[in-house]
Amino acid sequence: MKKTAALLSISLLAATMAPMMVSAEEASPEGRTEITFWHYMSEDKEGKYVNQAVEEFNNSQDEIWVNAQYLPREELMKQYTIGVVSGELPDVGMVDNPDHNSYASMGVFEDITDLFNSTEGCNFLEGSIGSCYYEGKLYGVPWGNNCLGLFYNKDLLDAAGVEVPTNWSELEAACEALTTDTTYGLAISAIGNEEGTFQYMPWLYSAGGSVTDMTGDGAVKSMEYLYGLIEKGYMSKEVIKWTQADAEKQFASGQAAMMINGPWQFDGIANDAPDLNYGVTLVPKADDGDYASVLGGENIGICAGTEHLDEAWTFITWITSAEKSADICSSIGRYSPRSDVNIQEMFADDPLNSALAAAMDGAVSRGPSPVWPELSAAVYTAEQEIFTGQKDIPTALADAQATIDGLGME
């Protein structure tokens, strides 16, 4: 009852606010079934490729007409919440993959388990499709992914006689050699939001840890390692304030010799430092651990209450097919989540994306969990408390675990 009341309150509050939708299509041709598709890819960037794909689908057959509508991400998330109460949801919707479980639990998306299992050719990477499951049932499919890697300034490493680090010991030694009065060895984002958790997770997972076990050896080991880099002056104390875009600025300006970041920063570096000689590789692994990375990106699903289930599924299977996935993902700077798409072939002429895409095989989803926002907050709060010296590592991690235990996760 509390949840319904909260949703109703939000719905009434927003009733006077018209959603900021931009439709890519006009009314459907006579005789076609029209379905709506909400996404948050803006026209000046990835959105133009989404619209091109929708136009191609509409022109490929004469039974279904897809009306693609753009909403800024935060507005789209709000409209999903309102739509659960009002019943005004699209037929197909996009969602950031760590949020998929939360919205599935609220009733935004349809259970498509049977549709998926009865359809041939739905081949996705385990980590990617894993983010679409809630309580053992499937509520969507992956659209496109990205992941984290290590960016390194080739000129600075060469000048210091440093090899590209592959593990934590090598990374710390590289940071020591690269840190000067004007340059830190490494930049990361440890800000108090989802970006902080996102960037922490490769260290946690490589050390054998889990976000649901924040007092375990993996969490302790990874926090000790990162905090040690700050204590030794190899990373700036300001990382607690840096977004991933801020870390990119540090790297592009030469104030950091290396950084942890993702392919969405390639354009930023090209603009900020077009002549920068840099490379990318896997996030260094714990000395006794495995390489790890974390999935970013989007999923799409059929929204609850649609009267056009079959038509929506036809569109989804078309736009996430191997051919279209490779085409769209290469255009919008994502890595295809399909197991039957060769990502290296997608980026054969792009050494940066090709190198970073190698992390996809071991990349894990965030969660999946309907309480991911709260769980993530517990993780980044502990990181902030440790990095600022507010709490020692055991205390901060114990407090985080107490919060996580209180979420009622199994």
- pTM exceeding 0.95: no
The model's confidence at residue 118, banded by pLDDT at 50, 70 and 90, is: very high
Residues 135 and 266 in one domain: no
Q: From 379, 235, 399, 392, select the one nearest 294 (Cα to Cα).
A: 379
Roughly what angle, to the nearest 10 degrees, separates helices 322-332 and 47-60? 150
Residues 121 and 155 in one domain: no
Residue 380 · residue 200 · CB < 8 Å: yes
Q: In Å, how far are 110, 151, 247, 381 from 191, measured between CA atoms? A: 34, 19, 11, 9
Average pLDDT score over residue span 39-52: 90
Mean pLDDT of the chain: 92
Residues 266 and 388 in one domain: yes
Looking at residue 7, its pLDDT comes to 43
Residues 247 and 159 in one domain: yes
Q: In the chain, pLDDT over 70 holds for what percent of residues?
A: 93
Residue 361 · residue 145 · CB < 8 Å: no
Looking at residue 106, its pLDDT comes to 95
Q: In Å, how far are 34, 223, 226, 327 from 280, measured between CA atoms? A: 44, 24, 20, 23
Is residue 8 scored above 50 in pLDDT? no
Bridge partners of residue 285, in order along the sequence:
167
- The domain tally of the chain equals 2
The model's confidence at residue 21, banded by pLDDT at 50, 70 and 90, is: low
Average pLDDT score over residue span 321-334: 92
Is residue 377 scored above 80 in pLDDT? yes
Residues 196 and 264 in one domain: yes
Residues 260 and 393 in one domain: yes
Looking at residue 331, its pLDDT comes to 87
Sign of CA dihedral 394, 395, 399, 402: positive
Residues 195 and 229 in one domain: yes
Q: Is residue 364 in a domain?
A: no
Q: Is residue 362 in a domain?
A: no
SS3 state of residue 154:
helix
Looking at residue 22, its pLDDT comes to 54
Q: Is residue 365 in a domain?
A: no
Q: In Å, how far are 38, 118, 199 from 17, measured between CA atoms? A: 17, 41, 35
> For tokens 């930023």, what's the residue?
268
Residues 214 and 238 in one domain: yes
Tokens describing residue 115: 């549709």
CATH code for the domain in which residue 202 is found: 3.40.190.10
Q: Is residue 78 in a domain?
A: yes
Looking at residue 410, its pLDDT comes to 55
Q: Is residue 366 in a domain?
A: no
Q: Decide which of 97 and 410 is more confident.
A: 97
Q: Is residue 106 in a domain?
A: yes
Question: Among 199-203, 273-277, 350-354, whose mean pLDDT is lowest?
Answer: 350-354
Average pLDDT score over residue span 191-203: 97
Is residue 3 scored above 80 in pLDDT? no
Looking at 335, 357, 379, which one is the last position of a domain? 357
Tokens describing residue 69: 């509508």
Average pLDDT score over residue span 246-250: 98
Is residue 267 scored above 80 in pLDDT? yes
Q: From 298, 302, 294, select the one nearest 97 (Cα to Cα).
A: 298
Residues 6+ apart with CB under 8 A from 179: 185, 233, 234, 257
Looking at residue 26, its pLDDT comes to 57
Q: Where are the alpha helices (DSSP H) in 87-216?
A: 100-106, 113-117, 126-130, 154-160, 168-178, 194-206
CA distance 327 to 323: 6
In terms of residue numbers, what domain contains 59? 2-146+296-357
Is residue 285 scored above 70 in pLDDT? yes
> For tokens 């996580």, what's the residue?
404
Residues 236 and 379 in one domain: yes
* Residue 73 CB burial class (10 angstroms; 0-12, 13-18, ≥19): middle
Residues 250 and 395 in one domain: yes
The model's confidence at residue 371, banded by pLDDT at 50, 70 and 90, is: very high
Residue 107 · residue 305 · CB < 8 Å: no
CA distance 160 to 326: 39
Q: DSSP state, 210?
A: B
Q: DSSP state, 324?
A: H
Q: Is residue 43 in a domain?
A: yes
Is residue 225 scored above 50 in pLDDT? yes
Residues 285 and 329 in one domain: no
Residues 6+ apart with CB under 8 A from 329: 144, 335, 336, 341, 346
Q: Is residue 363 in a domain?
A: no
Residues 58 and 160 in one domain: no
Is residue 114 scored above 90 in pLDDT? yes
Is residue 11 scored above 50 in pLDDT? no
